[in-house]
Amino acid sequence: MAKFRIMDRIETLEYILENKVSIARFGDGELMQMWFGREGFQKHDKNLKKQLIEVVNVKDEGFLVCLPHQLVTLDGLKPDSRKWYREQLLWTKPLWKYYVKDKRKIYGDAFISRPWMSFLDVEKAVKSFELLKKLWENKDVVIIEGDKTRLGCNNDLLDCAQTVKRIICPTHNAFSVIDRIFDEAVRQDKSVIFVLALGPTASILSYRLFKAGFMSYDLGHMDIEYEWFKLRSDGKVAIPGKYVNEAGGNNTFREVGELGDYESQIIARVGL
């Protein structure tokens, strides 16, 4: 049986920068939606399931589908992460092989936005975040995110962008308003780049924005991963003022008083 061909994190980011491609990332959450139609961010929706299966199999030039590099190798993972993925892959790898039809195609690594917590190589994490920032360096950026995500808020992740605007959406069940989100997004100038952090909805929305002529990056979890990276945290700790769905196995959020330019960057709220 053919094996997956998946670039590693650095190769993927360099490919995106060199070839100026849009991306959609598929991880365990998207796989759960494709399999039995639900995961932590989104209730069952048969249309979401159908569209995820369609997008993971697209072959458009200029659009890169990203899968977990762990499907290729567990090298470089921390021991606890290696153990967890080895056990997960016993039942998830056959599902990936079932839903992803073309094994000869080259895929990106879905973990480009999560280069810190699971991995041993600190320098590779540093390089990953440097390359991520180059995606929006001196660019006009529109963030499409959940209402407690606050990507780049109170850190320097977006400091190199020329401008930052935000479209704020529901943290949960965003797919129910995806058409409204899309309609709001396409009102923007074609020169902007979109950065999406919206669970499984982002995978589909990124492809729709690409087909509409925009550059779009599905980069969920990136901000929280960056916060943990800055702290050099060995555990998935809560971050004040931001929604963390993995800290202590619970969905955690604690409001903070100072949010910088966050409120002034919001150009629309959809479904709230």
Sketch the domain layout of the chain as residue ranges. 5-269
Token pair 């060199």 is at which residue? 18
pLDDT < 70 stretches in the chain:
1-2, 37-42, 245-258
pLDDT at 24: 98
User: Which residues are within 8 A (CB) of 75 and not within 5 positions of it... i.e. 6 or more apart?
Assistant: none
C-alpha to C-alpha distance for 250 and 169, rounded to whole angstroms: 21
pLDDT at 212: 98
Closest CA to 76 of 119, 24, 40: 119
C-alpha to C-alpha distance for 215 and 240, rounded to whole angstroms: 31
The model's pTM is: 0.92
DSSP structure class, residue 44: -
pLDDT tens readout for residues 113-164: 999 999 999 999 999 999 999 999 999 999 999 998 999 988 999 999 999 9
